[in-house]
Amino acid sequence: MDHLSDLDRHFVLHPATNLAAHQRQGPLIIERGEGIYVWDTQGKRYIEGLAGLWCVALGYGEDALVDAAAEQMRKLAYGQLFASRSHEPAILLSEKLAHWLPPTRSGDGPWRFLFGNSGSDANDTQIKLVRYYNNVAGRSQKKKIISRWNGYHGVTVGSASLTGLPVFHTHFDLPIEGILHTDCPHHFRHAEAGESEEAFATRLAANLEGMIQEEGPDTVAAFIAEPIMGAGGLIVPPATYFEKIQAVLERHDVILIDDEVITGFGRLGTPFGCQAMGMRPDTMTLAKALSSAYLPISAVAVPDWMHEAMKEPSDKLGAFAHGFTYSGHPVAAAVALRNLQLFEERDLIAHAARVGQHFQARLAALGELPFVGSTRGRGLLGGLELVRDVSAKRRFAAEDKVAIRVAALALERGLLVRALAGDTIAICPPLVITEAQVDELFDCLQSALRAFADETAR
């Protein structure tokens, strides 16, 4: 197995990795998985506490998805959607998704779906659609998109610009022109002294309105947001936040793009995060749990009014000139369709909502431990923020790498979690997790946190 590690360090360039540290330490090589568990090449078992990368909703080793892929590969391994060609899996998946999604905000017609391969390319598509739509609508100046600091929307040139984490901008000459960032809705970290969540949400909405007015409402086209921020620190906005934000957007005719890449398909105990958090989106970005990550696929949900605006210009030009070789890939679409059928057959969203209550109770209990300043989440998504001084909310020094240390202690105990910016630990298990397995997960994490507290107290 050392041979594999050596090969990895010689030939694999790892994304989102400290490359120097990787060369020193080598990789953790995962060999197989079943349910909520994975095993490394040494035979050690781990609870996969982040569902891979927030994505393996049905868990590992789901034969029904394997069978769907194999059957489709034998029938039609590849088919395109360019130039009016189509195939059954993309058509049936689109129909299925149209029934899953909440009604369009305008209520004037069905959703349509433009497929891609990842959340990153889907959010890149969102940028292009905003530009296309406003151009054909005769509003060529209305192009700016407002995102939020700590938001995560992908890593392409466009989607990394939407991402509000400086590490994804530094050395890449990002963000590109026309992408702006406004306040992060993190009450624990950014509220003023004595400021209630209601007052905090009101202030952030006023700041957003001020930004739009300063930039010029005729230049601001869209606002993009995750219902709950994932990679930027597992940040849950105050209860009235989206209600107040949406009122600002509607006053200035600004499209709301709902990034459901992490929160979609039952993660918060509702079909989509927007339904749990009070959002009424104009467009939606879908990926990850769409196929439980068994094959790469993403989708942008486009409302009828946007589609109608695109038709005549495409007739004049000869094409709507966007899409990918693998848009609606038949095997990926077949797997995604079967994935959603299994969600329905097993009533998995109700299961996630029910088990999520126990998950949130165990998460909240960690707030009694030393150095845990905040716990937060919804459904089967949670995070905890570690601080040096709980009462003062004082952070550890950056060089202490506290979240990384706690994640390493959890790894020793057979639990995979993710260390995020701001000394936050993220937890996002497969939706098939049981209450007993939730206890197993939190027992491991609690043990890691106690070990960290003991080390720090020395």
pLDDT 10s digits, 215-246: 999 999 999 999 999 999 999 999 999 999 99
pTM of the model: 0.96
> Residue 444: which of 425, 420, 422 has the closest Cα?
425
Q: Does residue 433 carry a pLDDT above 90?
A: yes
**CA-based nearest residue to 155, from 287, 340, 7:** 287
Angle subtended at Cα 144 by Cα 140 and Cα 146, rounded to the nearest 5 degrees: 155
What percent of the chain has a predicted confidence (pLDDT) above 70?
100
CB neighbours of residue 447 within 10 Å: 16
Radius of gyration of the chain (CA): 22
| Residue pair 222/245 in contact by the 8 Å Cβ criterion | no
Contact partners, residue 333, CB within 8 Å, separation at least 6: 87, 89, 90, 92, 93, 115, 297
Q: Are 35 and 61 in contact (CB under 8 A)?
A: yes
pLDDT in tens, 129-147: 999 999 999 999 999 999 9
CA distance 380 to 357: 8
CB 41, CB 414: distance < 8 Å? no
Q: Which domains does the chain have, with CATH numbers?
A: 2-61+347-457 (3.90.1150.10), 68-345 (3.40.640.10)
* Residues contacting 199, CB < 8 A, separation 6+: none
1, pLDDT greater than 80: no
**287 vs 298: CA distance, rounded Å:** 4
* Whether residue 106 has pLDDT greater than 90: no
The average confidence (pLDDT) of the chain is: 96
Using DSSP's 3-state secondary structure scheme, residue 394 falls into strand
